[in-house]
Chain A
Amino acid sequence: SQELEQSPQSLIVQEGKNLTINCTSSKTLYGLYWYKQKYGEGLIFLMMLQKGGEEKSHEKITAKLDEKKQQSSLHITASQPSHAGIYLCGAGRAALTGTASKLTFGTGTRLQVTL
Protein backbone atom coordinates (compact mmCIF):
# COMPACT_ATOMS: atom_id res chain seq x y z
CA SER A 1 0.00 0.00 0.00
CA GLN A 2 1.06 3.56 -0.64
CA GLU A 3 3.04 4.96 2.29
CA LEU A 4 2.35 8.59 1.40
CA GLU A 5 -1.03 9.88 0.32
CA GLN A 6 -1.48 13.35 -1.11
CA SER A 7 -4.67 15.35 -1.29
CA PRO A 8 -6.14 16.64 -3.39
CA GLN A 9 -5.01 14.64 -6.42
CA SER A 10 -5.62 17.63 -8.63
CA LEU A 11 -6.43 21.25 -8.09
CA ILE A 12 -7.50 24.11 -10.31
CA VAL A 13 -7.25 27.57 -8.78
CA GLN A 14 -7.64 31.05 -10.11
CA GLU A 15 -4.54 33.20 -10.22
CA GLY A 16 -4.12 35.11 -6.98
CA LYS A 17 -5.89 32.53 -4.83
CA ASN A 18 -4.30 30.64 -1.96
CA LEU A 19 -4.15 26.85 -1.85
CA THR A 20 -3.01 24.00 0.37
CA ILE A 21 -1.76 20.52 -0.51
CA ASN A 22 -1.56 17.83 2.13
CA CYS A 23 0.72 14.83 2.45
CA THR A 24 -0.17 12.13 4.98
CA SER A 25 2.06 9.23 5.90
CA SER A 26 1.03 5.82 7.18
CA LYS A 27 4.36 5.60 9.00
CA THR A 28 6.37 7.88 11.29
CA LEU A 29 8.01 10.69 9.36
CA TYR A 30 11.76 11.11 9.71
CA GLY A 31 12.23 13.66 6.98
CA LEU A 32 9.71 15.08 4.53
CA TYR A 33 10.68 16.57 1.18
CA TRP A 34 8.61 18.66 -1.19
CA TYR A 35 9.34 18.80 -4.92
CA LYS A 36 7.73 20.39 -7.94
CA GLN A 37 7.77 18.68 -11.33
CA LYS A 38 6.77 19.98 -14.72
CA TYR A 39 5.50 17.26 -17.03
CA GLY A 40 8.35 15.10 -18.28
CA GLU A 41 10.98 17.17 -16.52
CA GLY A 42 13.13 16.83 -13.42
CA LEU A 43 12.06 17.29 -9.83
CA ILE A 44 12.80 20.72 -8.43
CA PHE A 45 13.66 20.71 -4.74
CA LEU A 46 11.45 23.04 -2.73
CA MET A 47 11.95 22.28 0.96
CA MET A 48 12.86 19.62 3.47
CA LEU A 49 11.36 19.35 6.95
CA GLN A 50 12.75 17.19 9.72
CA LYS A 51 11.34 18.23 13.04
CA GLY A 52 7.78 18.25 14.28
CA GLY A 53 6.34 21.73 14.12
CA GLU A 54 9.01 22.86 11.67
CA GLU A 55 7.91 25.42 9.14
CA LYS A 56 9.87 26.69 6.15
CA SER A 57 9.10 29.27 3.52
CA HIS A 58 10.48 30.05 0.10
CA GLU A 59 9.01 32.97 -1.77
CA LYS A 60 5.26 32.36 -1.65
CA ILE A 61 5.43 28.71 -0.65
CA THR A 62 5.28 27.56 2.98
CA ALA A 63 5.55 24.00 4.23
CA LYS A 64 4.82 22.68 7.70
CA LEU A 65 5.41 19.34 9.37
CA ASP A 66 3.01 17.94 11.96
CA GLU A 67 4.93 15.01 13.35
CA LYS A 68 2.11 13.77 15.60
CA LYS A 69 -0.33 13.67 12.73
CA GLN A 70 2.34 12.24 10.40
CA GLN A 71 1.36 14.93 7.98
CA SER A 72 2.83 17.83 6.07
CA SER A 73 1.10 20.67 4.30
CA LEU A 74 2.29 22.89 1.48
CA HIS A 75 0.64 26.28 1.24
CA ILE A 76 0.93 28.61 -1.74
CA THR A 77 -0.08 32.22 -1.26
CA ALA A 78 -1.38 34.32 -4.14
CA SER A 79 -0.87 31.62 -6.75
CA GLN A 80 0.66 32.45 -10.12
CA PRO A 81 0.73 30.56 -13.44
CA SER A 82 4.38 29.73 -12.70
CA HIS A 83 3.22 27.63 -9.74
CA ALA A 84 1.48 25.18 -12.07
CA GLY A 85 2.88 21.65 -12.10
CA ILE A 86 2.91 18.45 -10.11
CA TYR A 87 3.80 18.67 -6.44
CA LEU A 88 5.33 15.59 -4.89
CA CYS A 89 6.08 14.87 -1.26
CA GLY A 90 8.80 12.39 -0.43
CA ALA A 91 9.71 10.64 2.80
CA GLY A 92 13.26 9.85 3.87
CA ARG A 93 14.86 8.47 7.02
CA ALA A 94 17.64 10.95 7.62
CA ALA A 95 16.34 12.10 11.01
CA LEU A 96 16.29 8.47 12.18
CA THR A 97 19.60 7.20 10.78
CA GLY A 98 21.63 10.38 10.69
CA THR A 99 22.51 9.79 7.05
CA ALA A 100 20.86 10.67 3.77
CA SER A 101 18.55 8.01 2.36
CA LYS A 102 16.34 7.04 -0.54
CA LEU A 103 13.00 8.75 -0.85
CA THR A 104 9.55 7.23 -1.13
CA PHE A 105 7.15 9.48 -2.95
CA GLY A 106 3.51 10.32 -2.60
CA THR A 107 0.90 10.09 -5.29
CA GLY A 108 1.37 13.69 -6.43
CA THR A 109 -0.94 16.68 -6.73
CA ARG A 110 -1.47 18.27 -10.12
CA LEU A 111 -1.95 22.03 -9.85
CA GLN A 112 -3.39 24.21 -12.57
CA VAL A 113 -3.57 27.98 -12.21
CA THR A 114 -6.05 29.77 -14.39
CA LEU A 115 -5.89 33.40 -15.41
Chain B
Amino acid sequence: AAGVIQSPRHLIKEKRETATLKCYPIPRHDTVYWYQQGPGQDPQFLISFYEKMQSDKGSIPDRFSAQQFSDYHSELNMSSLELGDSALYFCASSRRTGTYEQYFGPGTRLTVT
Protein backbone atom coordinates (compact mmCIF):
# COMPACT_ATOMS: atom_id res chain seq x y z
CA ALA B 1 0.00 0.00 0.00
CA ALA B 2 1.17 3.53 -0.75
CA GLY B 3 2.55 5.47 2.18
CA VAL B 4 3.31 9.09 2.92
CA ILE B 5 6.35 10.26 0.99
CA GLN B 6 8.71 12.91 2.30
CA SER B 7 11.67 14.52 0.63
CA PRO B 8 14.45 15.01 1.18
CA ARG B 9 15.16 12.39 3.83
CA HIS B 10 18.20 14.23 5.10
CA LEU B 11 19.12 17.88 4.88
CA ILE B 12 22.09 19.79 6.19
CA LYS B 13 21.91 23.58 6.28
CA GLU B 14 23.87 26.38 7.85
CA LYS B 15 22.47 28.94 10.24
CA ARG B 16 20.38 31.66 8.59
CA GLU B 17 19.82 29.54 5.47
CA THR B 18 16.41 28.43 4.21
CA ALA B 19 15.01 24.93 3.72
CA THR B 20 11.99 23.46 1.99
CA LEU B 21 10.54 20.11 2.99
CA LYS B 22 8.05 18.30 0.81
CA CYS B 23 5.29 15.87 1.66
CA TYR B 24 3.14 13.70 -0.59
CA PRO B 25 0.15 12.25 1.29
CA ILE B 26 -1.42 8.85 0.82
CA PRO B 27 -3.73 8.87 -2.23
CA ARG B 28 -7.27 10.07 -1.37
CA HIS B 29 -6.09 11.59 1.90
CA ASP B 30 -7.17 15.24 1.99
CA THR B 31 -5.55 16.39 5.24
CA VAL B 32 -1.85 16.91 5.87
CA TYR B 33 -0.11 17.52 9.20
CA TRP B 34 3.41 18.61 10.04
CA TYR B 35 5.17 17.61 13.26
CA GLN B 36 8.60 18.36 14.68
CA GLN B 37 10.45 15.85 16.86
CA GLY B 38 13.53 17.01 18.73
CA PRO B 39 16.11 14.56 20.09
CA GLY B 40 14.57 12.40 22.82
CA GLN B 41 11.24 14.21 22.58
CA ASP B 42 7.79 13.30 21.40
CA PRO B 43 6.47 14.77 18.12
CA GLN B 44 5.06 18.27 18.44
CA PHE B 45 2.32 19.46 16.10
CA LEU B 46 3.23 22.40 13.87
CA ILE B 47 0.43 22.96 11.37
CA SER B 48 -2.21 21.17 9.31
CA PHE B 49 -4.07 21.70 6.06
CA TYR B 50 -7.35 20.54 4.61
CA GLU B 51 -8.27 21.24 1.00
CA LYS B 52 -5.42 23.77 0.70
CA MET B 53 -6.65 25.74 3.71
CA GLN B 54 -4.88 25.87 7.05
CA SER B 55 -7.03 23.85 9.42
CA ASP B 56 -5.06 24.09 12.65
CA LYS B 57 -1.90 25.71 13.95
CA GLY B 58 0.40 24.63 16.71
CA SER B 59 3.76 25.79 17.92
CA ILE B 60 5.12 26.77 14.53
CA PRO B 61 7.69 29.59 14.55
CA ASP B 62 6.91 32.69 12.49
CA ARG B 63 10.03 31.88 10.45
CA PHE B 64 8.24 28.80 9.14
CA SER B 65 5.42 28.72 6.64
CA ALA B 66 3.58 25.95 4.90
CA GLN B 67 1.03 25.38 2.23
CA GLN B 68 -0.94 22.62 0.58
CA PHE B 69 -1.32 22.46 -3.17
CA SER B 70 -4.18 21.36 -5.41
CA ASP B 71 -2.69 17.87 -5.73
CA TYR B 72 -2.74 17.71 -1.90
CA HIS B 73 1.03 17.66 -1.50
CA SER B 74 2.40 20.06 1.06
CA GLU B 75 5.59 22.02 1.57
CA LEU B 76 7.10 23.36 4.78
CA ASN B 77 9.32 26.38 4.22
CA MET B 78 11.81 27.27 6.91
CA SER B 79 13.79 30.49 6.86
CA SER B 80 16.55 32.02 8.99
CA LEU B 81 17.38 28.58 10.30
CA GLU B 82 18.67 28.30 13.84
CA LEU B 83 20.64 25.52 15.52
CA GLY B 84 17.54 24.67 17.55
CA ASP B 85 15.64 23.84 14.37
CA SER B 86 17.68 20.66 14.03
CA ALA B 87 15.12 17.88 14.37
CA LEU B 88 13.12 15.23 12.61
CA TYR B 89 10.23 16.70 10.68
CA PHE B 90 7.31 14.41 10.02
CA CYS B 91 4.44 14.78 7.67
CA ALA B 92 1.28 12.79 8.29
CA SER B 93 -1.90 12.42 6.33
CA SER B 94 -5.47 11.33 6.92
CA ARG B 95 -8.94 11.65 5.55
CA ARG B 96 -10.86 14.47 7.20
CA THR B 97 -13.84 12.20 7.80
CA GLY B 98 -14.23 8.47 8.02
CA THR B 99 -11.66 6.40 9.80
CA TYR B 100 -9.51 9.28 11.16
CA GLU B 101 -6.44 7.06 10.98
CA GLN B 102 -3.34 9.21 10.67
CA TYR B 103 -0.30 7.83 8.89
CA PHE B 104 3.19 9.25 9.18
CA GLY B 105 5.93 9.57 6.63
CA PRO B 106 9.53 8.47 7.24
CA GLY B 107 10.55 12.00 8.19
CA THR B 108 13.16 14.51 7.09
CA ARG B 109 16.17 14.83 9.36
CA LEU B 110 17.26 18.47 9.33
CA THR B 111 20.65 19.34 10.72
CA VAL B 112 21.53 23.00 11.10
CA THR B 113 25.23 23.74 11.55
A102 and B56 contact, Cβ closer than 8 Å, known pairs A31-B100, A45-B102 = yes
In the complex, chain A residues whose CB is within 8 Å of the CB of B102? 33, 45, 48, 90, 92, 100, 103
**Can you list, as one digit per residue, whether each of B12-42 has a CB less than 8 Å from chain A (1) or not (0)?**
0000000000000000000101010000001
Report whether A100 and B42 are in contact in the complex, using a CB–CB cutoff of 8 Å.
no
Given A40-B88, A48-B101, answer yes or no on A106-B42 (Cβ-Cβ < 8 Å). yes
In the complex, which residues of chain A have a beta carbon less than 8 angstroms from the beta carbon of B107? 40-42
| Residue numbers in A under 8 Å from B8 (CB-CB) | none
Q: Are A102 and B33 closer than 8 Å at their CB atoms?
A: yes
B52 at the interface (CB under 8 A from A): no
Q: Which residues from chain B contact A41 at a C-beta distance below 8 Å?
A: 106-107
How many B residues touch the partner, as a band?
A: 20 to 34
Tell which of B92, B100, B105 has the most Cβ of chain A within 10 Å.
Answer: B100
Give A40-65 interface residues, CB cut-off 8 Å to B. 40-45, 48, 50
Instruction: Answer yes or no: B74 CB below 8 A from chain A CBs.
Output: no
User: By the criterion CB–CB under 8 Å, are A45 and B101 in contact?
Assistant: yes
A sample of 13 more A-B contacts (CB under 8 A), given A45-B101, A101-B100, A102-B58, is A40-B107, A42-B104, A43-B92, A44-B104, A45-B103, A48-B99, A88-B43, A92-B100, A100-B94, A100-B95, A102-B33, A103-B102, A105-B44
